[in-house]
């Protein structure tokens, strides 16, 4: 039979690539960072072609939009898994300051130090005072006019000089003999005694200086400390470089500035006082000032660390498994998106043909209603001419009313079909004007050769290779195998090797000086081992992965079986539907000739009105049957395109195109129609 849908086929051929519409179906879908709300399109047009319906479906169907987001979610999961191997710069900064009580033993040591210093200072004072009196005694002897008498008195009983300065007392005894040797008092006073006084005065001055120094040191020490305070400023930087084979490389830098002191005391244990020497210079002499005696410290450590997993965690099969599986999941999601698009387009085509069928039913009943009106006029004329009884008029009116009722039912069914088509496309419907009519006729019926067994066998063999949902399922199985292998490798014990190389720097002077005082290189090596007894976590994960892979493989095998069975079922039904269209067309032609003949016979009074009405009713039924047969054939043809995976072809660059002959011809094993 010649096609009646050639005009639609020509329109579809103009749709070479619907990349502009389907661009949202792949990676660039919803590429903007802001969330795009779902805003269904609303149209106001009387009719819509199948091509337009397909295009509107691609841009409005919510099922496609949802699957797009699912594919985008898979990309996010892949990016997340890839992020495990991102280079990672980590840094930490810490500043601490605090104080605490000293231990009792340390407080005791500090107090003992001060007590000892006080004892030493008091002893120095006593010694200095003894010398003060000795100098005074000498000065009194020198001032006495009778030197010998003064000496004799000074060296008498309970003599201070004899008790405290026996050497000086002995020298004075010798001086007493000098006067007998002929020296005058003046000579003894100016030469001998004055020298003795100067010598003792110098000793007294030295003792005074020592006394002052000891009391100054005691004052500098202050009270014994009871608390200590400290601070630390630390900066740490690490740059982790993980590899997909499990090895991790980490350059690092640690810098610390720290200090510790007694509360209320200077930082170090030294302070400076002017020194006293013979030249009276002001050279600084270090003195103890009660501090802890520690300078602030600048320290640095820099190097590089290598971490090598030797058992669990070693190799890409385990470490990179989730990323590799996520890549396959993205491909699977894109195939699932392609399958969803095919489903949405087939549903649109089926809804489109239902509208076309409802329109045809309305047209059939409109023609029938017009024929009943014409028949009623003819009967009225015959009754008025008394050529027919008046009961014929009532019978004609009854039939006319019946047809009008059927027409109203068909019009309601058409409205429902139009709204259903708009809903399937994803259009917003605010009124019947937003639900267009079908602008294309049913496709023509294929020849017996196109529906023969050879074509069926070819489609059965090609369908599993072309179906996007089966491709998605196979990728899911491949992903499961990767994860199962990773779980198997995860059963191993943990044995990690860590090797570190680096250098150190330290200084009490300044930060800049510390950076110039590096030592090294230093090195270290360590091994870490762990063995979980029972290993239930890893064993449980392995069993889960096994079960998940088995589920995916079962689903994959069952889907392939169902696909082949559905192709056989649809091809068989399509052949039957084609035959039904042929028979229904022949029935319409026969009933049309019969109905025309009955009307002529009735005009010639050679037939009854009952025969005319019955024949017309049979004609309406035959026409309705033909419409139903063509609708069934068209819907089965659309389903065959879906079952064989021929609706959408994948292009090398990842976009898609809808076959130019989709839904109007029988698909071939290569994916296009004839």
Give per-residue pLDDT as tens, 460-472: 888 899 899 999 9
Number of H helices and E strands in the chain, helices first, is 18, 12
Return the pLDDT at 168.
79
How many residues in the chain? Answer: 674
181 pLDDT higher than 70:
no
pLDDT of residue 557: 95
> What letters, b where the CB count within 10 A reaches 16 and e where it falls short, cover 315-334?
eebbbbbbbbbbbbbbbbbb
What average pLDDT does range 11-16 have in this prediction? 37
Rg of the Cα atoms in the chain: 57
Which letter, b or e, does each residue of 559-577 get, where b requires 16 or more Cβ atoms within 10 Å of its Cβ?
bbeebbebbeebbebbbeb
pLDDT higher than threshold 50 for residue 21: no
The confidence score (pLDDT) of residue 378 equals 84
Backbone angles phi, psi at 27, to 5 degrees: -60, -30
**CB contact set of 523 (below 8 Å; sequence gap of 6+):** 499, 500, 501, 502
Whether the pLDDT of residue 33 is over 50: the answer is no
Tens of pLDDT along 503-522? Answer: 999 888 778 787 788 888 89
Give pLDDT tens digits for 299-339. 999 999 999 999 999 999 999 999 999 999 999 999 999 99
Q: What is the mean pLDDT of residues 373-401?
A: 84
């Amino acid at each position: 039979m010649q096609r009646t849908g050639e005009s639609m086929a020509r329109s579809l051929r103009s749709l070479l690539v619907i990349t502009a519409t389907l661009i949202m179906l792949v990676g660039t879908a919803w590429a903007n960072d802001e969330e795009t709300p779902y805003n269904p399109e609303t149209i106001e047009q009387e009719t819509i072609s199948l091509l337009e319906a397909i295009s509107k479906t691609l841009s409005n169907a919510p099922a496609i939009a949802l699957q797009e987001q699912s594919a985008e979610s898979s990309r996010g999961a892949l990016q997340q898994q890839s992020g495990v191997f991102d280079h990672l710069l980590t840094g930490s900064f810490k500043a601490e300051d605090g104080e605490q009580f000293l231990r009792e033993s340390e407080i005791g040591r500090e107090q003992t130090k001060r007590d000892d210093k006080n004892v030493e200072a008091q002893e120095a004072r006593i010694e200095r005072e003894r010398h003060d009196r000795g100098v005074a005694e000498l000065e009194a002897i020198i001032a006495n006019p009778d030197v010998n008498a003064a000496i004799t008195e000074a060296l008498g009983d309970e003599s201070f000089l004899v008790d405290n300065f026996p050497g000086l007392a002995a020298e004075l005894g010798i001086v007493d003999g000098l006067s007998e040797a002929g020296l005058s008092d003046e000579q003894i006073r100016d030469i001998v005694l004055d020298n003795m006084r100067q010598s003792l005065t110098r000793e007294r001055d030295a003792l005074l200086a020592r006394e002052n120094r000891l009391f100054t040191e005691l004052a500098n020490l202050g009270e014994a400390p009871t608390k200590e305070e400290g601070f630390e400023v630390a900066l740490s930087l690490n740059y982790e470089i993980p590899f997909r084979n499990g090895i991790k490389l980490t350059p690092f830098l640690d810098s610390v500035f720290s200090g510790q002191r007694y509360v209320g005391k200077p930082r170090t244990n030294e302070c400076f006082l002017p020194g006293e020497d013979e030249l009276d210079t002001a050279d600084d002499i270090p003195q103890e000032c009660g501090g802890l005696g520690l300078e602030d410290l600048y320290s640095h450590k820099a190097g590089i660390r290598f971490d090598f997993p030797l058992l669990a965690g070693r190799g890409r099969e385990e470490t990179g498994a989730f990323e590799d599986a996520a890549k396959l999941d993205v491909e699977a999601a894109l195939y699932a998106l392609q399958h969803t698009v095919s489903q949405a387009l087939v549903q649109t085509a089926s809804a489109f043909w239902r509208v076309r069928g409802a329109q045809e039913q309305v047209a059939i009943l409109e023609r029938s209603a017009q024929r009943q009106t014409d028949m009623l006029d003819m009967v009225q004329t015959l009754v008025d001419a008394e050529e027919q009884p008046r009961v014929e008029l009532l019978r004609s009116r009854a039939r006319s009313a019946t047809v009008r009722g059927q027409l109203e039912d068909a019009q309601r069914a058409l409205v429902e079909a139009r709204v259903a088509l708009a809903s399937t496309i994803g259009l917003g419907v605010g009124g019947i004007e937003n639900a267009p009519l079908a602008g294309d006729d049913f496709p023509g019926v294929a020849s017996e050769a196109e529906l023969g067994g050879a074509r069926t066998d070819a489609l059965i063999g090609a369908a599993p290779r072309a179906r996007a949902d089966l491709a998605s399922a196979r990728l899911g199985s491949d992903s499961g195998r990767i994860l199962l292998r990773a779980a198997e490798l995860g059963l191993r014990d943990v044995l990690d090797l860590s090797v570190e190389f680096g250098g150190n720097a330290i200084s009490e002077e300044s930060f800049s000086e510390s950076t110039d005082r590096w030592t090294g290189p230093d090195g270290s090596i360590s091994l870490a081992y762990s063995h979980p007894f029972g290993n239930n976590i890893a064993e449980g994960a392995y069993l889960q992965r096994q079960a998940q892979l088995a589920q995916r493989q079962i689903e994959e095998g069952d889907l392939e079986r169902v696909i082949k069975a559905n192709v056989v079922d649809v091809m068989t039904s399509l052949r039957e539907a084609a035959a039904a269209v042929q028979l229904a067309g022949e029935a319409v032609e026969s009933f049309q000739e019969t109905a025309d003949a009955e009307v002529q016979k009735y005009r010639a009074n050679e037939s009854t009105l009952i025969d005319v009405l019955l024949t017309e009713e049979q004609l309406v039924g035959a026409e309705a049957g033909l419409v139903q047969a063509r609708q069934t054939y068209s819907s089965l043809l659309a389903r065959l395109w879906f079952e064989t995976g021929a609706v959408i072809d994948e292009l090398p660059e990842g976009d898609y195109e809808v076959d130019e002959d989709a839904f109007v011809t029988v698909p071939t094993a290569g994916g296009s129609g004839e």
